[in-house]
Amino acid sequence: MNISIASGKGGTGKTTVAVNLAHVWANDPQCRIHLVDCDVEAPNDHLFLDVSAAETRAVTLPKPVIDESKCTACGKCAKACNYNALTVVTKHVLLFEELCHSCNVCSYVCPENAISYAPIEIGKIHNVTQGLPFVLSWGELAIGQVQAPDIIRELRNELEPDTINILDSSPGCGCAVRETLAGADVVILVTEPTPFGLNDLRLAAELSLQLGLPTGIIINRSDGCDKIIEDFSRESGVPILGRIPFARKYAETYSKGKILAEQYPEIETIMRDLCKKIQALAKTVPPKQSFLFKSQTEIGSGKFVSAEPRDDMQQTVVISGKGGTGKTTICASLAALRPGNVFFDADVDASNLPILLKGERIATRKFTSGAKAFIDYDKCIECGNCARSCRFRAIRKHEDGSYHIAPEACEGCGFCELICPVKAIEPRPADTGCLHLSESKYGKLSHAFLNIGEENSGKLVTEVSNLALTTLAAEKASHILGDGSPGTGCPVIAAMTGCNLAVAVTEPTVSGVHDLKRALKLAAHFDITSCVIINKADINIEQTNEIKDFCSEHKIEVIGEVPFDEAVGQALKEGKHLLDVSPCPARTAIENISKQLELKFNI
């Protein structure tokens, strides 16, 4: 049985559930357990386990090799490559294999037959078969490579049918998650009982149900009254399988990289109960329906008001190396302290700032990115050449013999257009989402919605930040405050572009510290001044001190610390930011931080 564990975004406790579930289920002598970490860009399940020796093997993909003796530098390959992986300068063909999607287009168009394919390592798979109560595997995408789904496919190929395979997915709803969910018998969605959690849960549930998979929910950080998720469960027919209570001791144990079920019998009981419920769920038929929020699909009918950017405009972005550090809460609270300015939400995968700032939609425009293949059925002779040659397995044969392109799997390489004998396939601009402008009590807000399963390239983020810029230019204010997307990839780079200051929010946990360093390195790379906010600073003083030491060594200011405060959890449940709740230690901390930002960085 394959169990995929997913969530609309990071920081919900997906890894906690996966590791603890594997740990507890392994006590059943009847079952063989295999925990598979499919978050190949940031695998961290193994950080929670005592892993001494792992067997490692390389994952390869065929990449082009150019035979210089045959190549005439005609440039046809570079022109045909839709990924900009080839270029020709002064009679030399240069290949950038990390951008290559192994689509075969270049070798097909080469008139000299100078391009062949040879295997190149794109990452690794690690297996631990001894020393743990279960088998552990994790994939690791090599730095600079982009083909995460290929590593996940390799991991899935190793799964044995008579084993309980627990697959820990990467966050979001992109192609890597789709690959992790493929072939699952059950999907477990981990969420929090907050409006954000619900927003992200709807996206993840949409993807899982689109794929026709039995799906269940686990509520993390539950305080027993999780009405918001219960309502969704009732409305959608997606059952709640378990709840992990909200408690400071769990956060502390997690921050030390320890397994909760080992220390707390109540967690063990929850997990054991979950095992039973998962087995029962696997036999059910999932509901067929769409559950997207009105706020996710609503279209504004007004107009965008824009002007040429002025010189006095300043842009600040709040970043964090990973999700779930409290970035959006802090950003919304800082926004509430700066009314009249313009805000943006660069997290286009799961836009949450509009929920906290309670934005009302003003205007919307569609966003297209790249191209996808379309079949002209008047011309198609159903020869199947396209389906056989598609590297991404995006063209599928239906029962009636016709061929169909799965838009979410098509990566727009254009190979099918080239090989179609009757020219029945053409590229069309792909609709990948919507760009929105909303009005909130505190000012205008630009944000976006990326269609489910679309990969975020950073282009939509650039549109969001440009919209904030042109909107601000038409207003009197001079500041833009943006909520960056989590991680350190292309979308974050796009959100940082043009910023004067990056405020990095981190938490004192093993992964928090690791990810903060990456985020700060990125800001330094782009010559952007940065400062740090340590959220939940008091849950692990040791890690907090490590963060402070790191910052002072690199001359980065720690602008403030926010204590762990249960009032924050309550505020989020009600969809409020911290300026919207009665005074509490976290609110006081944010107000002080805001003053410091004004004093030291003039924002």
Partner 1 sequence: MKLVFASTGTNLEAALDPRFGRCSYFVCCDTESKEVSSVSNSQNLNAAQGAGIQAATTVADYGADYALCGHCGPKAFRVLQTAGIKVICGVEGKISDLIKEFEAGNLKEVDSADVEGHWM
Which parts of this chain interact with partner 1 (CB under 8 A)? 83-85, 87-90, 92, 94, 96, 98-99, 143-146, 369-370, 457-459, 462, 488-490, 493, 497, 518, 521-522, 525-527
Nearer to partner 1, 10 or 412 (CB): 412
Q: In sequence order, what are the beta bridge partners of 502?
A: 317, 530
- DSSP at 359: P
Q: In sequence order, what are the beta bridge partners of 429?
A: 371
Min separation Cβ 527 and partner 1, Å = 6
Nearer to partner 1, 96 or 377 (CB): 96
Q: What is the DSSP string of 322-360?
A: STTSSHHHHHHHHHHTSTTSEEEE---SS--HHHHHTPE
Min separation Cβ 7 and partner 1, Å = 24
Nearer to partner 1, 527 or 553 (CB): 527
Q: Measuring CA to CA, how many Å separate 178 from each of 170, 171, 350, 372, 423? A: 10, 11, 16, 18, 30
Min separation Cβ 277 and partner 1, Å = 40
Min separation Cβ 284 and partner 1, Å = 39
Query: From start to end of 377-474, where are the E strands?
Result: 395-397, 403-405, 425-440, 443-450
Alpha carbon of residue 212 to chain centroid = 22
**Number of residues written out for the chain:** 603
Nearer to partner 1, 52 or 90 (CB): 90
Nearer to partner 1, 209 or 430 (CB): 430
In sequence order, the 6+-apart residues with CB closer than 8 A to the CB of 29 are none
- What sections of 192-318 are H helices per DSSP? 195-210, 227-236, 248-255, 260-263, 265-281, 294-297
**How many Å apart are CA 451 and CA 455, to the nearest integer?**
9
Min separation Cβ 92 and partner 1, Å = 5
Min separation Cβ 369 and partner 1, Å = 7
Question: How many other C-beta atoms are found inside a 10 Å radius of the C-beta of residue 257?
Answer: 13
Measured at the CA of 187, the angle between CA 185 and CA 188, to 5 degrees, comes to: 140
Nearer to partner 1, 63 or 576 (CB): 63
User: Which helix (H) or strand (E) element contains residue 415?
Assistant: helix 415-419
Min separation Cβ 526 and partner 1, Å = 7
Nearer to partner 1, 242 or 487 (CB): 487
Please tell me whether residue 366 adopts helix, strand or coil conformation: strand
Question: Which amino acid would we find at residue 549?
Answer: D
Min separation Cβ 19 and partner 1, Å = 26
**How many Å apart are CA 88 and CA 75, to the nearest integer?**
6
- What sections of 32-111 are H helices per DSSP? 76-80, 105-109
**How many Å apart are CA 188 and CA 218, to the nearest integer?**
7
Nearer to partner 1, 399 or 527 (CB): 527
Min separation Cβ 73 and partner 1, Å = 11
- DSSP at 310: P
**How many Å apart are CA 574 and CA 228, to the nearest integer?**
9
Are the C-beta atoms of 366 and 469 separated by less than 8 Å?
no
Min separation Cβ 458 and partner 1, Å = 8
Nearer to partner 1, 296 or 497 (CB): 497
Q: What is the DSSP string of 112-133?
A: T--EEEEEEEEEEEEEE-SSSS
**How many Å apart are CA 367 and CA 433, to the nearest integer?**
5
Nearer to partner 1, 219 or 499 (CB): 499
Are the C-beta atoms of 133 and 51 separated by less than 8 Å?
no
Min separation Cβ 518 and partner 1, Å = 7
Which two three-digit tokens encode residue 434? 């919507």
Min separation Cβ 457 and partner 1, Å = 4
Nearer to partner 1, 500 or 570 (CB): 500
Nearer to partner 1, 98 or 475 (CB): 98
